[in-house]
Structure 1
Amino acid sequence: MGGPLWPPSRFWQFWALAGMVVLTAAFWWGVEGYAMIESHYPRGQIADGLLRFGLLVLTPALVLVWSAAAWLRRRVGEGGYWQMLGLVAAIWAGSVLVTRILLG
């Protein structure tokens, strides 16, 4: 086979730790963002568009990049995977931050 299955490699240990942050943040923003959409609070077109884009595109992209680790690791390597996850996470976090600022 490919070596011992236990203990998991350092990559998978870090992946599990990243998953705790990624999945908690995605769940939090899913609930928070959905509550913002459902509350018919008056907001501008930019804030509304960014809120919907963050919920419908960026949050699933963040979870997808995290969950596709084995596939992406084979294609881009470990360093490339962490850079990709970091880039998607930074874009997602920026979107959430700007949305929160606009909706004040």
Structure 2
Amino acid sequence: MAGPNWPPSRFWQYWALAGMLVLTAAFWWGVEGYARFESGVGDAIADGLLRFSLLILTPALLIVWAAAAWFRRRIGEGGYWQFLGLVALIWAGAVAVTRILIG
């Protein structure tokens, strides 16, 4: 027998779908970025961007995704999706530029 909150609202359904993308991307970049870091990056800018994306942006992306209920209460559903999209866009940009610089 399903509880009173079943099925979950659209927000939580979309949140779960977004989580599949966020968690997969964060894991992928954690593994690939760490491998690139261990192999050595010659350029100081690329090294700094790699470290920043691994140590700051990837955890920020995961925290924003995981803290959905808290953000939803404070900035609303639309604000949450905009905020998650902004953080994801910054993360993706940093990853793309890092990959271009490292080659």
Write out the 4+ residue segments of structure 1 that deviate beyond 6 Å after TM superposition. none
Q: What is the Cα deviation at residue 4 of structure 1?
A: 2.9
Structure 2: any 5+ residue segments left out of the alignment? Answer: none
CA distance in 2, matches of 1:82, 1:9: 15
Q: What is the Cα deviation at residue 43 of structure 1?
A: 1.8
Q: Which amino acid aligns with 1:96?
A: V
Q: Which amino acid aligns with 2:5?
A: L
Structure 1: any 5+ residue segments left out of the alignment? Answer: none
What residue number does 1:95 align with?
94
CA distance in 2, matches of 1:43, 1:37: 10
Counterpart secondary structure, 1:6: coil
CA distance in 2, matches of 1:90, 1:60: 14
Q: Which amino acid aligns with 1:12?
A: W
Q: RMSD value over aligned CA atoms?
A: 1.1
CA distance in 2, matches of 1:98, 1:66: 23
Q: What is the Cα deviation at residue 5 of structure 1?
A: 1.1
Q: What is the Cα deviation at residue 47 of structure 1?
A: 0.1
